[in-house]
Amino acid sequence: MLSQLVARFVPEHLALAGGLELRRAEILIKTAWFILLWSPPTLAFGYVTNGIDSIFLVVLACSIGFASVPFILRATGSLVAASNTLIAALLVEMLWYGVTSSGVHASTMTAIIYAPLFALVFQTRRAGLAWPVIALGVWTGLFVMEAQGYPFPGDGFDTTTRAAARLFELSSASSVIFVLVSLKDGMQEFLVATLRAREAEERPRRRCDSAARDAARA
């Protein structure tokens, strides 16, 4: 059932072409949905620990961004446009949590590594080159704010709140990476199977060509 639902959002040209791009599109859709599942607990945890009303609006906006990824992919037919939407929404959410909690020490800062990771999986190296730079810029900006003495709200969190935030971070990060790597393994297995099938198809032709050359020499 999930496969049928995913297939509805895959652009026709990717579905007809098959291969690597089709697998990337399927993984992108599943990843966006899985991250979207984390929005309610992220909202609840952020509000309980930070108590800032603006978090609700930011998480809601970013959740809309996550939910829109399959529709953008279907409408534009572009993996780059759809994956950029996913990465941008994720970075905005993580940046806002950093500003409203503990800056570079915020538990969400680990999730910044998703930007270059997702760019490598869903885009070409050239297309995704900007995201590692942007992620580094986000971290550098928060570092400069801290160096300038910006009073981050999270600096006053007690030990229990900090530990709970770290546990939440590790749980969400490990689950997202696990799902992404599992889906990526499926894509690699598909590529290996495809290469083996092509090799099996070409082997008889190569034998015929070799036999023809031998006959011509004789």
Residue 148 confidence (pLDDT):
86
**Residue (of 90, 92, 68) closest to 81 by Cα position:** 68
Residue 21 confidence (pLDDT):
80
Residue-wise pLDDT tens for the chain (218 aa)? 677 888 888 888 888 877 778 888 888 898 898 888 888 877 776 666 665 566 777 888 888 999 999 999 999 998 889 999 999 998 888 888 777 777 777 767 777 878 888 888 888 777 677 888 888 888 888 888 888 887 777 655 666 666 666 666 667 667 777 776 766 666 566 555 555 655 666 666 656 656 556 556 65
Residue 75 confidence (pLDDT):
93
Residue 65 confidence (pLDDT):
92
Residue 5 confidence (pLDDT):
84
Q: How deeply is 103 buried, as exposed, middle or buried, from its count of CB atoms within 10 A (0-12, 13-18, 19+)?
A: buried
Return the amino acid letter for 163. Answer: A
- What is d(CA 18, CA 113) in angstroms, rounded to the nearest whole number? 29
Residue 120 confidence (pLDDT):
80
DSSP state of 128: T
Q: How many residues does the structure list for the chain? A: 218
Residue 72 confidence (pLDDT):
95
Residue 198 confidence (pLDDT):
56
